[in-house]
Amino acid sequence: MPRSTFQVETVHLSQFREGNARDRADFIRVLGDSFRHTGFVKVAGHQVRQADVEGAYEAAKAFFALPEEVKRRYLVPGSGGARGFTPFGSEHAKDNPVGDLKEFWHVGQELPADHPLKALYGDNLWPEVEVPGFKGHTLALYRALEDCAGTLLEALALYLGLPERSLADMIVDGNSILRIIHYPALRDRYLEGGVRSSAHEDINLITLLPAATDSGLQLLGRDGTWRAVDGLAGEIVADAGDMLSRHVNLKIPSTTHRVVNPDSPEAVRYSMPFFCHPRPEVLLDCPESLLEPGEAKRFEPITAHAFLLQRLREIGLI
């Protein structure tokens, strides 16, 4: 199968945030068309600090190098891996029973103690004793990525003719997750028939990916061709997930992607996707204004929480 690179559009956030009406209209068109036609876009002009990306990767290397029994102190049984550590091989794509060749850590929304969603979300865990600096860098990344996602959702709503804040408001105090992934060397850890990340669509509204430490990420184009998307340092790749696609009656299809195994058995990879989720009670239900005359809704309304639970069961996390 040919491996080529997409002709990727890049949007600059400042064009939308600070530009005049024409700049904003251009931004909205490029972003929306890109999501619709290729399933993803590159984002520049964001507030994600490279020092935090690099600091978080350093912290991740230190954490995943710890003995398995130390890492497992940060495993929360029965939580679906919502916070803390999830061991190697636990998650599998919904169509592949073999576990993915990865272990990961989830940072979730930090809320004040008296927030009504605090009990449902639970507390973040921090390996501060073993890896000082882990919390500072990953939390800073979480906030900057969440902010960036909010702007992209404002523009996407306008692209679809919806009120500007209609999608972005869904993610305020949302159940978003920063996933810090370690793909060990295949020489060290391998499962027969396993791949780093088998082909899947993300569950959430949109996903933001700061550049990974190595190649491997591929997106399936609407033309059925897999293409590499190796972001450069400082770049962020955004793509569409199933919640968005469902909410807009497939007008923006979710993006199928995978992480292929490397040629070298020694290659190690780290990545940090940010999965942008609504608050649990938010209803995924296509607005009537998006439907053409005679077009039926393809999906029953469902809350973001019910949809998340359904999908976590399918991928083996609960």
Ligand X SMILES: O=C(O)CCC(=O)C(=O)O
Residues at the site binding ligand X, with contacts judged by CB under 6 A: 179, 181, 197, 202, 209, 212, 217, 257, 259, 271, 273
DSSP letter for 233, please.
T
Distances (CA, A) of 235 to 48, 50, 147, 231, 306: 9, 9, 15, 6, 33
The answer to whether 186 and 268 are in contact (CB under 8 A) is: no
Are 103 and 64 a contacting pair, CB within 8 Å?
yes
13 alpha-carbon distance from chain centroid = 18
Contact 275, 177 (CB under 8 A): yes
Residue 227 binding target from Fe ion, ligand X, none, CB below 5 to 8 Å by type: none
Report in angstroms how near the CB of residue 251 gets to ligand X at its nearest. 22
Residue 263 CA to residue 265 CA, distance in Å, equals: 7
- Comparison of 27 and 142: residue with beta carbon closer to Fe ion: 142
> Can you spell out the DSSP letters for 168-224?
GGGGTT---EEEEEEE--TTT---TT--SEEEE--SSSEEEEEPPSSS-EEEE-TTS
Q: In the bound complex, what is the minimum distance in angstroms from residue 180's beta carbon to Fe ion?
A: 14
Q: Which does 181 bind (CB under 5 to 8 A by kind): Fe ion, ligand X, none?
A: ligand X
CB nearer to Fe ion: give 53 or 219. Answer: 219
Q: Which stretch binds Fe ion (CB under 5 A): 13-21, 25-33, 97-105, 197-205?
A: 197-205
Assess contact for 206 and 244: CB atoms under 8 A.
Answer: yes
Residue 15 vs 197, nearer CB to ligand X: 197
**82 binds, options ligand X, Fe ion, none, Cβ within 5 to 8 A by partner type:** none
202 binds Fe ion (CB under 5 A): yes
Which span sits near Fe ion by CB under 5 A: 121-129, 195-203, 241-249, 281-289? 195-203
Name the residue nearer to ligand X (CB basis): 30 or 259.
Answer: 259
Within 10 angstroms of residue 4's Cβ, the number of other Cβ atoms is 11
What is the dihedral sign for C-alpha 115, 119, 121, 124? positive
Among Fe ion, ligand X, none, partner that 179 touches (CB below 5 to 8 angstroms by kind): ligand X
Residue nearer to ligand X on the CB measure, 75 or 290: 75
The site partner of 259 among ligand X, Fe ion, none (C-beta below 5 to 8 Å per kind) is ligand X
Regarding 154 and contact with Fe ion (CB under 5 A), the answer is no
Cβ 270 to Fe ion shortest distance, Å: 15
Using the rule CB under 5 A, is 239 a contact of Fe ion?
no
Please identify, using beta-carbon distances, which residue of 146 and 242 lies nearer to Fe ion.
242
Dihedral (Cα; 79, 84, 90, 93), 10-degree rounding:
80
Q: What is the distance between the alpha carbons of residues 286 and 301, in angstroms, rounded to a whole number?
A: 8
Q: Which is nearer to Fe ion, 202 or 235 (CB)?
A: 202
Give the footprint of Fe ion on this chain (CB under 5 A).
Answer: 202
